[in-house]
């Protein structure tokens, strides 16, 4: 016990003397949380629209004005011919072309029916899908308005058929940030834990100090605990900094669920992540090797965790990979607790699985460490 | 009573492709100063790593203080002090912090064992607050020795402690080792410098993972079977070439300011013969004398025989 205290004292001394580690602990949470949730926004805005109006009627103008006032579209050009707009398309200046045929108003009034042409630039798939969906929505809205104008308001009920009003739970404003910030917190904790822990142990290998420690009576588990505890503390600190300072004051996120439960899960999760860092360190001889190894695995872990794309919409084989990824579980749990206010029974499976991960990583690392050193 | 026993040890690296130690046996008595002498890559560090329980031998048995290095490694770690060839203390901790950290790991304090390290530590104490990484080479070695001694070990393993250290510090270092020996500590030290070998009680000459000879430095030097001469002239490189071309010369190599040579059997009055030969080859200022063989001479002879 006394030995662990001395090891911890030494470890913290070294950490506080290392300016680059301090920067990682203090600045990384702030920068990550300020940049990523604001920049990586899934709501598609600023779709560039080309309008080709052959009709020049009041209806065609009304329609254009309605589209542009929605806030999703930006008028790129107003051109007399489709070909001219298409060249904008080819230059990638424009994402959508709306062509209003001549006689649009006439057909609409006379025959109660008119056609419109939409061309979509599908290079950016997400923008294409969202853009054409928004545009169709606005056009059908426009259609309904015109119908309202023409139909005498005798029976209001006859106008609307079935009206669907969605009620959004847990994130009523569908604010993307509320979904993203907890996710970024998870990434942060994962990176701090795995990277710092792996690099620190490998550094001892590089300088040869690990051998100097090995010829002392210090037990392997003392040494490993002396490494895990400091980085566990740092992980909890970084997480708290992100949660209580940035998430609360910048984004106004207050966890709906129990903080105690959240921190309990964080504690278990950090043990798993640190175990992973330990494992990486046992397979690397230099800091460079440890860096590449953890960078490669972290990228897979993060992209497969459901941070950006929901795990459920991945192909089945990819879902299996995501299920073998500890990050996925914390990603789900933090969103459940922070947004939904989930309680222990809701996340007890996640607890069990992360404890399993922690056990596997740490036992594997310790066994391999014994064999190599 | 043997404190350190190395019995027919074989150690290979990289899946048996490199044989670092090939059937090596030796033993060092309690309280003795035992030197492992050999060039870089001879296998000295492998011997220390096995004795310090940092690596396992492939075959053979090694004992330290009666404990087996494989089975009783934890007992050995209590009683040995190990100073690796490369500086392996924490460069970002200060001199004092390094020392008290290693004392703490052995459950002791710097004060409790201050008398043992006093002589060496006094020299680096003015820099107590300096980070270990910022010390000069010689001071790093002194700090490393202090850290290896701080738990009062009964056996000390020093892997090339004087490599890269200036001549004055080297001399001081060997004096320190002599003092430690007087306190009853068994010391195993390796060095590539032959001149330091004479300060050991027993030495083992090592080359390519094999032991060439084990004995006291005096006996090893006395075992040189031939008469050894030193020659020099105004043109040393030409002299070496010419000497090697002569059929009457047994061996010839550069040694400091002279070339050391031995003659083949059956040359009467070698001096007269050699000087005559050399003058005919336009050498001037020829000096010629008989010299006492040193350990280095023995080493070179053994190495050549081994090849």
The yes-or-no verdict on residue A157 having pLDDT over 60 is no
Q: What digits encode the pLDDT tens for the residues A102-120?
A: 888 888 878 777 788 888 8
Q: What digits encode the pLDDT tens for the residues B120-140?
A: 899 899 999 999 999 988 889
Cα separation, A139 vs A145, whole angstroms: 10
List of chain B residues whose C-beta atoms are within 8 Å of the C-beta of residue A203: none
Chain A: give the shortest CA distance to residue B192, in Å.
21
For chain B, what percent of residues have pLDDT higher than 70?
100
Residues B205 and B281 in one domain: no
User: Which is more confidently placed, A31 or B268?
Assistant: A31
- Three-state DSSP at B9 gives strand
Q: Is B48 on the interface with A (CB under 8 A)?
A: no
- Three-state DSSP at B197 gives helix
- Choose one of B195, B216, B237: the last residue of a domain: B216
Q: Share the mean pLDDT of chain A.
A: 86
Residues A213 and A308 in one domain: yes
The yes-or-no verdict on residue A149 having pLDDT over 80 is no
Cα separation, B219 vs A351, whole angstroms: 72
The pLDDT of residue B96: 94
Cα separation, B144 vs A14, whole angstroms: 19
Q: Is B36 on the interface with A (CB under 8 A)?
A: no
- For chain B, the domain total comes to 2
Q: Share the mean pLDDT of chain B.
A: 89
B211 is a domain residue: yes
The pLDDT of residue A129: 80
pLDDT band at A371 (very low <50, low <70, confident <90, very high): low
A198 is a domain residue: yes
Residues B74 and B178 in one domain: yes
Q: Is B91 on the interface with A (CB under 8 A)?
A: yes
Residues A217 and A278 in one domain: yes
Cβ atoms within 10 Å of A145's Cβ, excluding its own: 13
pLDDT band at A238 (very low <50, low <70, confident <90, very high): very high
- For chain A, the domain total comes to 2
The yes-or-no verdict on residue B305 having pLDDT over 80 is no
Cβ atoms within 10 Å of A260's Cβ, excluding its own: 9
pLDDT band at A372 (very low <50, low <70, confident <90, very high): low
Q: Which residues contact A175 (CB under 8 A, 6 or more apart)?
A: none
The pLDDT of residue B89: 94
Structural domain span for residue B6 = 2-216
Contact B91 A207 (CB under 8 A): yes
Q: Is B104 on the interface with A (CB under 8 A)?
A: yes
Chain A: give the shortest CA distance to residue B106, in Å.
7
Contact A209 B90 (CB under 8 A): yes
Taking each helix axis from N to C terminus, what angle separates A58-68 and A104-111, rounded to the nearest 10 degrees? 110
B261 is a domain residue: yes
Cα separation, B126 vs B108, whole angstroms: 23
- Choose one of A159, A192, A217: the last residue of a domain: A159
Of the candidates B96, B176, B166, the one whose C-alpha atom is nearest the C-alpha of residue B138 is B166
Residues A55 and A92 in one domain: yes
HSE, side-chain direction, 13 A CA sphere, residue B243? 30
- Angle formed at CA B233 by CA B232 and CA B236, multiple of 5 degrees: 80
Q: What digits encode the pLDDT tens for the residues B232-281?
A: 888 888 888 888 888 888 888 888 889 999 888 777 788 888 888 888 88
Residue B139's alpha-carbon distances to A71, B54, B151, B190, in angstroms, are: 71, 25, 20, 19
List of chain B residues whose C-beta atoms are within 8 Å of the C-beta of residue A369: none
Name the closest residue on chain A to residue B48, using Cα atoms: A215
Name the closest residue on chain A to residue B85, using Cα atoms: A208
- Choose one of A159, A187, A218: the last residue of a domain: A159
How many helices, marked H, and strands, marked E, lie in chain A?
15, 4
The pLDDT of residue B111: 92
Q: Is B106 on the interface with A (CB under 8 A)?
A: yes
Cα separation, B92 vs B100, whole angstroms: 14
- Choose one of B216, B246, B276: the last residue of a domain: B216
User: Which letter does DSSP use for residue B85 in this model?
Assistant: S
Who among A17, A212, A217 is closest to B89 (CB)? A212
Q: What digits encode the pLDDT tens for the residues A172-231?
A: 666 778 888 999 999 999 988 898 999 999 999 999 999 899 999 988 889 999 999 999
The pLDDT of residue B134: 92
Q: Is B89 on the interface with A (CB under 8 A)?
A: yes
Residue B72's alpha-carbon distances to A114, B65, B68, B150, in angstroms, are: 93, 10, 5, 22
A173 is a domain residue: no
- Best of B104, B110, B130 to disrupt the A interface (most A CBs within 10 Å) is B104
Cβ atoms within 10 Å of A244's Cβ, excluding its own: 12
Q: Are residues A275 and A361 in contact, defined by beta-carbon separation less than 8 angstroms?
A: yes
Least confident of A64-73, A121-130, B280-289: A121-130
Residues A29 and A59 in one domain: no
List of chain B residues whose C-beta atoms are within 8 Å of the C-beta of residue A17: 92
pLDDT band at A86 (very low <50, low <70, confident <90, very high): confident
Q: Give me the CATH number covering residue B161.
A: 3.40.50.300
Q: Is A214 on the interface with B (CB under 8 A)?
A: yes
Residues B71 and B131 in one domain: yes
Residues B136 and B194 in one domain: yes
Cα separation, B139 vs B165, whole angstroms: 9
The pLDDT of residue A78: 86
The yes-or-no verdict on residue B195 having pLDDT over 90 is no
Residues A197 and A60 in one domain: no
Residue A345's alpha-carbon distances to A222, A311, B128, in angstroms, are: 35, 21, 57
Contact B80 A215 (CB under 8 A): yes
B293 is a domain residue: yes
List of chain A residues whose C-beta atoms are within 8 Å of the C-beta of residue B155: none
Q: Give me the CATH number covering residue A149.
A: 3.40.1710.10
Residues B153 and B265 in one domain: no
Cα separation, B162 vs B303, whole angstroms: 23
Contact B77 A215 (CB under 8 A): yes
Q: Are residues A325 and A304 in contact, defined by beta-carbon separation less than 8 angstroms?
A: yes
Contact B104 A18 (CB under 8 A): no
Residues B200 and B163 in one domain: yes
Of the candidates A300, A112, A323, A353, the one whose C-alpha atom is nearest the C-alpha of residue A190 is A300
For chain A, what percent of residues have pLDDT higher than 90?
38
- Choose one of A159, A189, A217: the last residue of a domain: A159
Q: Give me the CATH number covering residue B259.
A: 3.30.70.2070
The pLDDT of residue A228: 93
Residues A308 and A193 in one domain: yes
Q: What digits encode the pLDDT tens for the residues B33-71?
A: 999 998 888 899 999 999 999 999 999 999 999 999 999
A79 is a domain residue: yes
- Angle formed at CA B104 by CA B101 and CA B110, multiple of 5 degrees: 80
A174 is a domain residue: no
Cα separation, B21 vs B206, whole angstroms: 10
The pLDDT of residue A9: 94
Name the closest residue on chain B to residue A220, using Cα atoms: B74
B223 is a domain residue: no
Residues A127 and A185 in one domain: no
Q: What digits encode the pLDDT tens for the residues B61-117?
A: 999 999 999 999 989 999 999 999 889 999 999 999 999 999 999 999 999 999 889
Structural domain span for residue A51 = 47-159
Cα separation, A298 vs A306, whole angstroms: 13
pLDDT band at B168 (very low <50, low <70, confident <90, very high): confident
The pLDDT of residue B105: 93
Q: Which residues contact B237 (CB under 8 A, 6 or more apart)?
A: none
Q: Is A213 on the interface with B (CB under 8 A)?
A: yes
A6 is a domain residue: yes
Q: Are residues B18 and B74 in contact, defined by beta-carbon separation less than 8 angstroms?
A: no
A127 is a domain residue: yes
A165 is a domain residue: no
pLDDT band at A163 (very low <50, low <70, confident <90, very high): low
Q: Which residues contact B7 (CB under 8 A, 6 or more apart)?
A: B25, B60, B61, B62, B63
């Amino acid at each position: 016990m006394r030995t662990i205290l001395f090891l911890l004292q030494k470890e913290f001394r070294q950490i506080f003397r290392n300016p680059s580690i301090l920067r990682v602990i203090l600045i990384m949470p702030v920068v990550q949380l300020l940049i990523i949730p604001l920049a990586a926004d899934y709501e598609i805005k600023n779709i560039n629209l080309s309008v080709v109006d052959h009709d020049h009627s009041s209806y065609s103008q009304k329609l254009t004005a309605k589209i542009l006032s929605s806030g999703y579209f930006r008028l790129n050009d107003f051109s007399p011919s489709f070909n001219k707009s298409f060249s904008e398309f080819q230059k990638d200046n424009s994402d959508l072309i709306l062509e209003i045929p001549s006689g649009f108003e006439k057909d609409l009034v006379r025959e109660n029916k008119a056609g419109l042409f939409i061309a979509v630039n599908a290079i950016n798939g997400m923008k294409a899908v969202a853009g054409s969906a928004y545009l169709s929505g606005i056009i059908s809205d426009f259609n309904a308005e015109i119908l309202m104008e023409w139909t005498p308001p005798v029976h209001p009920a006859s106008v609307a058929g079935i009206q669907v009003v969605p009620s959004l739970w847990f994130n009523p404003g569908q604010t993307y940030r509320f979904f993203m910030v907890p996710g970024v917190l998870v990434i942060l904790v994962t990176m701090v834990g795995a990277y710092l822990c792996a690099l620190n142990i490998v550094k001892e290998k590089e300088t040869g100090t690990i051998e100097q420690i090995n010829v002392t009576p210090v037990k392997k588990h003392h040494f490993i605990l002396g490494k895990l505890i400091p980085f566990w503390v740092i992980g909890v600190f970084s997480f708290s900094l992100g949660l209580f300072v940035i998430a609360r004051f910048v984004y106004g996120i207050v966890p709906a669920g129990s903080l105690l439960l959240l921190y309990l899960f964080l504690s278990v999760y950090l043990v798993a992540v640190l175990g992973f860092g330990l494992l990486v360190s046992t397979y690397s001889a230099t800091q460079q090797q440890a860096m590449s190894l953890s960078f490669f695995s972290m990228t897979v872990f993060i992209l497969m965790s459901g941070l950006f794309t929901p795990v459920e919409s991945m192909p089945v084989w990819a879902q299996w990979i995501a299920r073998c990824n500890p990050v996925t579980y914390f990603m789900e749990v933090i969103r459940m607790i922070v947004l939904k206010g989930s309680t222990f029974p809701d996340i007890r499976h996640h607890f069990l699985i992360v404890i399993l991960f922690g056990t596997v990583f740490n036992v594997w690392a310790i066994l391999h460490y014994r064999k190599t050193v | 009573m043997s404190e350190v026993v190395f019995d027919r040890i074989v150690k290979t690296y990289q899946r048996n492709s490199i044989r670092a130690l090939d059937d090596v046996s030796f033993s060092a008595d309690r309280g003795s100063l035992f030197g492992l002498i050999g060039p870089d890559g001879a296998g000295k560090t492998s011997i220390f790593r096995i004795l310090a329980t940092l690596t396992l031998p492939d075959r053979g048995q090694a004992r330290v203080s009666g404990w087996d290095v494989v089975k009783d490694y934890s007992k050995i770690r209590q009683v040995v002090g190990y100073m690796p060839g490369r500086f392996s203390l924490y460069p970002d901790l200060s001199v004092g912090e390094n020392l008290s950290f290693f004392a703490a790991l052995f459950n002791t304090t710097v004060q409790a064992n201050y008398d043992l390290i006093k002589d060496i530590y006094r020299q680096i104490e003015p820099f107590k607050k300096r980070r270990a990484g910022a010390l000069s080479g010689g001071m790093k070695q002194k700090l490393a020795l202090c850290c290896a001694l701080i738990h009062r070990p009964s056996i000390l393993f020093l892997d090339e402690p004087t490599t890269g250290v200036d001549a004055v510090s080297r001399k001081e270092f060997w004096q320190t080792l002599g003092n430690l020996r007087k306190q009853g500590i068994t010391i195993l030290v390796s060095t590539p410098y032959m001149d330091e070998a004479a300060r050991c009680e027993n030495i083992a000459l090592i080359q390519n993972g094999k032991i060439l000879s084990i004995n006291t430095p005096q006996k090893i030097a006395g075992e040189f079977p031939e008469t050894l001469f030193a020659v020099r002239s105004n043109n040393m490189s030409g002299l070496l070439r010419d000497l090697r071309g002569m059929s009457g010369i047994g061996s010839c190599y550069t040694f400091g300011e002279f070339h050391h040579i031995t003659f083949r059997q059956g040359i009467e009055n070698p001096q007269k013969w050699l000087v005559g030969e050399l003058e005919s080859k336009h050498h001037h200022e020829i000096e010629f004398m008989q010299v006492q063989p040193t350990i280095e001479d023995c080493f070179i002879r053994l190495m050549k025989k081994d090849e």
